[in-house]
Every structure is written in C-alpha cells, then in structure tokens.
A and B are shown apart, each in its own frame.
Chain A
Amino acid sequence: DIVMTQSPDSLAVSLGERATINCKSSQSVLHSSSNKNYLAWYQQKPGQPPKLLIYWASTRESGVPDRFSGSGSGTDFTLTISSLQADDVAVYYCQQSFNTPPTFGQGTKVEIK
C-alpha cells in the first residue's frame, strides 16, 4: 500500500497569512500515460464529511475559493492557503488514488493563531 505522510500534524496561522501543508507519498502517484498525479486534497470541519478541494494535485474543484492551491508531482505535494480565513479552520487530508487501496494522510489541523 502507498503510505501518505503529511507535515506538520498541526499549524496555527494568523488571519490573512499563508498556510502550507506538505504531503509525501511512499511511491510516485504520477500516471505516466496521462501525466496526471492521482493526488487529492480534502477539507474536513468538525461534525462534517470531508469536502474535495483539489484533484490531480493542482486542479481546484468547482466552487473552491482560489486562495486554495495545490502543487507538486511524483511523491511530494503541497496544499497552500494563500490568505487564511476563519472559515478555513479544519483538518486537511491528502489522498492518493493511483493504486487500490486509496490511502489518506494522517491529517493536518489548521487553527488560527
């Protein structure tokens, strides 16, 4: 199974500042024929199901604010919140779907400093 490791486990950022979350996979999730990374990012607020933010590592889901961006390829990926808003307080998960079983990172909790 592909192991997904996120860092840090938690971070506190001031309102309006940048938040950066890293995700590393134990093997490449880049599909050679499509040149797509099968890496998604989800946001989960307390008591709610996860919400898809980013797919293919860097494509923003429809309706997701443009302050959320994803980058990276192969085994190293980053989710950036360019200007943190109060509504962004949540746990963020990366997930690979390159292989079955799909696997999630352990989550990164984002709070307001």
Chain B
Amino acid sequence: QVQLVESGGGVVQPGRSLRLSCVASGFSFSSYPLHWVRQAPGKGLEWVALISFDGHGTKSYYAGSVKGRFTISRDNSRSTLYLQMSSLRVEDTAVYFCARDRAYDDAFDVWGQGTRVTVSS
C-alpha cells in the first residue's frame, strides 16, 4: 500500500527549531521527487519545498517565505523525507503535508495525513 506518514509536529516558541519527518512505504522512494505543502488554519494550500533525486545528487527548491530558514532533505536508505525548520515564526503555524510528485505529469498523487505545527509563545 502506497503511503506517506508524517511526524514531528508540535507546539514550539517563535525563533525555535523543529524537524518534520515523512516515512514512505509501498513504492520506490528514491525514484520520486517529493514536496512539503502546508495549510494554515482555515486557509488554502501553500507549497513549501521540493527535493528531487536523479542518481547524481539532489536538488532542492523553496518558497520565498521559508528560504534560508527551512531545509528539505531525504534519506533514500530510510525512505524518509525531512523538513528542518528553524527561526520559526507565528505565521509558520500550519498543518504540514508531504506529497509525492509523480514526475511524468508533476501531479501530487500521494499525500500524507499531515502533521500540525503551532508556533506560539
């Protein structure tokens, strides 16, 4: 069964750090680009970051709102995607989803259930 399961969310103070994880199962993890997408309470979907892997190495891309503060990474041996979040702000409060990019059409065809991050003093 193709699945993505996020973890690592929680309540954190502004300026602190948090690392999210997304464990994949049921498919060849290393073959797919992967994304983080977030959704603030009552709001729409906001793309956060992308990581690809082509056998030569990884390439990563970030939304302007998180660039320089968030780092996306992957461990293909563990089938795990990460999002290291630092210098967190109140506006980073959201449910964070990981999603698989099907590559041939760039559609996000598999999503995790999400992990909630609350940044509050």
For residue A85, CB closer than 8 A to chain B, the reply is no
Alpha-carbon distance A102/B106, docked complex (angstroms): 9
Most buried by A among B35, B47, B99: B47
| Chain A contacts with B in 3-41, Cβ cutoff 8 A | 36, 38, 40
| Chain B contacts with A in 55-73, Cβ cutoff 8 A | 61, 63
The answer to whether A40 and B108 touch (CB under 8 A), given A100-B61, A101-B61, is yes
Cross-chain contact B105 with A38 (CB below 8 angstroms): yes
Cross-chain contact A101 with B47 (CB below 8 angstroms): yes
Q: Give residues in B with beta carbon < 8 Å to A.
A: 35, 37, 44-47, 50, 61, 63, 97, 99, 101-102, 105-109, 111-114
- In order of increasing CB-CB distance, the 3 nearest A-B pairs are A97-B106, A49-B111, A55-B107
Known: A97-B105, A101-B61, A102-B106; 15 extra A-B contacts, CB below 8 A, are A38-B105, A38-B106, A40-B107, A42-B45, A50-B37, A50-B97, A50-B111, A51-B111, A61-B107, A97-B107, A100-B50, A102-B50, A104-B45, A104-B47, A106-B44
